[in-house]
Structure 1
Amino acid sequence: MSGRMDIINRIIPNAKAELPLLITHLEKLKIYEKGEGKWYIKSHDASGKERLILDEKKNQKRPRR
C-alpha cells in the first residue's frame, strides 16, 4: 500500500491530510506501472478504461485541474 501512497503523494502533495477518505479506500484503487515511469489507474466505471496519472520521464502529473 505504501507504493500506491508514494505515487499519489507525487500527484497530490500531502494527500493523507488533504484527502483522509482516500486512505480508507486506497486498497480498492488499481494503480500500476505500465512502461518505465508511466503510472496508470484502472477506472471503476462500466468502461473499465485505464488513465495515465503520472509520467515520471516528462514530469507530468494528472489529473490536471
Structure 2
Amino acid sequence: MRFFPAIKLHYIGIDARYREQGYGQELMDEVFDICQEIARLSGCVFLTLEALNSAVGFYVV
C-alpha cells in the first residue's frame, strides 16, 4: 500500500447573510495559502475538498 500525504477540507462555508460579498473568496485564498505552507513543511502532495454539489462551481478554477 502506498501513502500519499493529503490535506482534506470539509464543508467550508459562509453564512447566507454574507454571501456574494467576496468573503468566500477571501476565506479560500487564506485557506490555500495555509495549505501551501503546510505542504511545503510536510511534503503533502494532495488537497481534497468535501463540498455540496451546489457549491462545486465556486471551487473549480
Same-fold call, TM cutoff 0.5: no
TM-score, scaled relative to structure 2: 0.25
Identify the structure with the greater strand proportion: 1
Bigger RCO (CA 8 Å, 6+ sep): 2
| CA radius of gyration, larger in | 2
Normalized per residue, which structure has more helix?
A: 2
